[in-house]
Structure 1
Amino acid sequence: MSNRTGLGSALPATGIEEAYERFAPLAEKYWGPDLHNGYWYDSEDDSSLEDASRRLTEFVTDKLGVGPGDRVLDLGCGNGRPAVSAGLRTGADVTGIDVNRRALREAATHASASGVSHYVSFEYADALNPPFRPGAFDAVMSLESSPHFELAELLPSMARLLRPGGRLVLEAPFARVPASERLRHRTAEYYELIQAVSLDTLQRHVELANAAGLSPVEFVDITENTMPTWPRALRRLRDGWDEIERVLGAELAERAIATVSAWRELPEVGIMILTLRRDEVLFPS
């Protein structure tokens, strides 16, 4: 049996963009602008969603191993918050890529307002066919973007962009068990909702990374640390329910809430930070 869920092939950019356009404005307002998991230290940690999300961005950023003069790619940068945070924290030049034009405009505005637009920039680009030369980056980071791609396609694309010794840091869901019909069924609705296609085991990540010329450096299971994200977000969403229902419609709004709730309760799915290192030989250009 395969170690992946077999949810489908890579989606066209329009599918991902449409999903983002539908949900992101409300999520930014009620969830918080970073649009990714938060990180809490323990059950006594009462940090806000915003602070916990910022902490997770910093956790990922620190694993890049970069500083001033280095170049970083933010894969699936969205509205640019993590990219700007990474630039401010490390002093590295950061380029964010995404397929959502509205998000990219917001990202550029945020970089300008933060005073970093001279070294944090954004481009419309397909991660599987990026417009950069081989070895152009010292590090690549991805916060919850990799599920939108087949890993067998994404990892070689990102490996090609890294200099020898450069790092790829993925913060992403992973399957804690091998693929089964039950897991496929239980994840399908959520993946359709967010227009994602892949959910792979750690073993599968490592196998495909090795095939792409990437060696594992560190695996951190942050499932328990991210668990408070959804309950806190759900309370906020319920507080703003009149607007959410008006924008999405009652049926879609309730289905979205139920789908995400079911997803977050799956014991077969964890959240990880996986750090990979580019081997010393670059792919031929």
Structure 2
Amino acid sequence: MADAASRLTALAEESLSQPLPVRIRAWDGSESGPPGAPVLVIRRRRALRRLLWKPGELGLARAWVAGDIDIEGDLYEALGRLAGLLWDRDPEDSVHPVRDPRARAFARGLLRIAGPWPPPAPPGEEVRRRSGPLHTRRRDRQAVSHHYDVGNDFYALVLGPSLVYSCAYWRDGGTLEEAQRDKLDLVCRKLALREGDRLLDVGCGWGSMAIHAARHHGARVTGITLSREQAALARKRVADEGLTDRVEIRVQDYRDVDDGPYDAISSIGMAEHVGSVRYREYADDLYALLKPGGRLLNHQIARRPEKDEDAYRIDAFIDAYVFPDGELAPLGRTLTLLEEAGFEARDVESLREHYALTLRRWVANLEQHWERAVRATSPGRARVWRLYMTASALSFEHNQIGVNQILAVRPTDDGGSGMPLRARRWTASAGDA
């Protein structure tokens, strides 16, 4: 194969009707494309066969996870340049794989370069085909295990000492650990936690929120997770902090909690796993577990509304490699379902830019500790996390997705909320809520 890079560049530009925004370096050592641009390294011809057999995002993701392709240079810049070709194209402008002659010509040209071998097997990190109803207890346990049970040591390298896997709350300067502490304290103040209050932390992760609420606000906390690895480390951290009399960690589905009422509920970065078919049930269950006048803090990633919501499709890479069965909903839809369950929404705060900053710190941690991270999990899994966190940071920065804290109240029988007249007093200092 002589000068594969030039052949691939010409083929791609003819199909796209525009210049490629990155250079290509092929397996034969040849290069083509704009000088000084990030380099898409195609290490093996197998990468092209992945695209032939699974055109689009999933084929590219398989090639990335398997190490068949890589980026030389700034990954953020490379993904930003490629976004218009891969993710930001209007569906009406996309080529149809059967009807569009450009797509057929591209496939024929790729076949001549790639060779007529059978499709390569997907990388082992990919979730196998699933069947049956979405978001049953069993299927949710499997999905959570895929994402979270990849090694506590791996997550400690990426997340840092705070072990908080959700958007931090940044002030001017400061470390990731300080920003995560400020986020946890913001949640506690929005919930107006007081000494002896019962807090249910839904999706408690490695116990950071439960520990903070107990140590700094005197709450009695029940934390629940479906991840056994998370629960084991969370219990150890609680014991090391001397808080076993105030914090209980359970491996339990939110649908099976029956020991309410609670004074407050925190759900931080968990509701994305619930799914549209179960979201009203989720809202109903949390409402039933709160005492009248109790508060819910729902911290959740949101997508932008689609012109045709029925046409919405889950991201193929995220579903196959990151969050199986995970779904993002528009903010308005989430608010509507919470209100239909009986909640009164009292405050919504967007933390979109904060999540972009958080993700960039996580990516930096992963890159800094790359060899250790690979040993803690696998090369493919580490590559999955690097790609998804980098792409997610760009999505938050470009306002393609957001993240919001919704503070809601279960009203008392006479309609009372117990909220202060100055709705955002919690932003001033601890104890003002």
For the aligned pair, the TM-score class normalised by the smaller chain equals 0.7 to 0.9
Amino acid at match of 1:208: L
3-state SS of 2:287 partner: helix
The corresponding residue for 2:350 is 221
3-state SS of 2:149 partner: helix
Q: Compared with structure 1, are the counterparts of its residues 90 and 144 closer, same or farther at alpha carbon in structure 2 (3 Å cutoff)?
A: same
Q: Compared with structure 1, are the counterparts of its residues 218 and 273 closer, same or farther at alpha carbon in structure 2 (3 Å cutoff)?
A: same
Q: Distance in 1 between matches of 2:241 and 2:386?
A: 33
Bigger strand fraction: 1
Could you tell me whether the CA contact under 8 Å between 1:215 and 1:279 is conserved in 2? yes
3-state SS of 1:228 partner: helix
Q: Distance in 2 between matches of 1:184 and 1:240?
A: 37
The corresponding residue for 1:259 is 388
- 1:264 Cα deviation from its structure 2 partner: 2.6
- 1:28 Cα deviation from its structure 2 partner: 1.7
Stretches of structure 2 lacking an aligned partner (at least 5 in a row): 1-132, 414-433
Q: Compared with structure 1, are the counterparts of its residues 188 and 167 closer, same or farther at alpha carbon in structure 2 (3 Å cutoff)?
A: farther
Could you tell me whether the CA contact under 8 Å between 1:141 and 1:168 is conserved in 2? yes
Moved more, 258-267 or 51-60: 258-267
Q: Distance in 2 between matches of 1:197 and 1:175?
A: 12
Q: 1:204 aligns with which of 329, 333, 344?
A: 333
- 1:77 Cα deviation from its structure 2 partner: 0.6
The corresponding residue for 2:165 is 35
Moved more, 93-102 or 241-250: 241-250
The corresponding residue for 2:368 is 239
Q: 1:141 aligns with which of 266, 283, 295?
A: 266
Whether 2:300 is the aligned partner of 1:172: answer yes
The corresponding residue for 2:242 is 115
Q: Distance in 2 between matches of 1:119 and 1:161?
A: 19
Matching of residues 21-60 of structure 1 within 5 Å: 21-22=149-150, 24-32=152-160, 33-41=163-171, 45-60=172-187
Could you tell me whether the CA contact under 8 Å between 2:228 and 2:251 is conserved in 1? yes
Q: Which aligned segments of 4 or more residues in structure 1 are displaced greater than 4 angstroms?
A: 183-186
Amino acid at match of 1:272: N
- 1:190 Cα deviation from its structure 2 partner: 2.4
Q: Compared with structure 1, are the counterparts of its residues 215 and 188 closer, same or farther at alpha carbon in structure 2 (3 Å cutoff)?
A: farther
- 1:255 Cα deviation from its structure 2 partner: 3.1
Could you tell me whether the CA contact under 8 Å between 1:76 and 1:98 is conserved in 2? yes
Amino acid at match of 1:244: A
- 1:220 Cα deviation from its structure 2 partner: 0.3
- 1:184 Cα deviation from its structure 2 partner: 4.8
3-state SS of 2:256 partner: coil
- 1:118 Cα deviation from its structure 2 partner: 0.8
Stretches of structure 1 lacking an aligned partner (at least 5 in a row): 1-7
Matching of residues 32-111 of structure 1 within 5 Å: 32=160, 33-41=163-171, 45-111=172-238
3-state SS of 1:27 partner: helix
Quote the sequence identity (%): 24
Rg larger for: 2
The alignment's TM-score, normalised by the length of structure 2, stands at 0.58
User: How many residues are matched?
Assistant: 269
- 1:24 Cα deviation from its structure 2 partner: 4.4
Q: Compared with structure 1, are the counterparts of its residues 138 and 178 closer, same or farther at alpha carbon in structure 2 (3 Å cutoff)?
A: farther
Whether 2:401 is the aligned partner of 1:273: answer no
Matching of residues 9-24 of structure 1 within 5 Å: 9-10=134-135, 11-22=139-150, 24=152
Q: Distance in 2 between matches of 1:29 and 1:129?
A: 32
- 1:211 Cα deviation from its structure 2 partner: 1.3
Moved more, 90-99 or 257-266: 257-266
The alignment's TM-score, normalised by the length of structure 1, stands at 0.86
Q: 2:324 aligns with which of 187, 190, 195?
A: 195
Whether 2:256 is the aligned partner of 1:129: answer yes
3-state SS of 2:263 partner: strand
Larger RCO (CA under 8 A, 6+ residues apart): 1
- 1:147 Cα deviation from its structure 2 partner: 0.7
- 1:179 Cα deviation from its structure 2 partner: 6.6
Computed over aligned residues only, the root mean square deviation of the Cα atoms, in angstroms, reads 2.3
Amino acid at match of 2:401: V
* Cα deviations by residue, 1:161-202 (Å, 9 ceiling, x for unpaired): 001111110111112333758x95574422541335221112
Q: Distance in 2 between matches of 1:165 and 1:171?
A: 19
Q: Distance in 2 between matches of 1:37 and 1:146?
A: 14
* Cα deviations by residue, 1:181-239 (Å, 9 ceiling, x for unpaired): 8x955744225413352211121111101111111010001111232111111111111
3-state SS of 2:143 partner: helix
Q: Distance in 2 between matches of 1:65 and 1:263?
A: 31
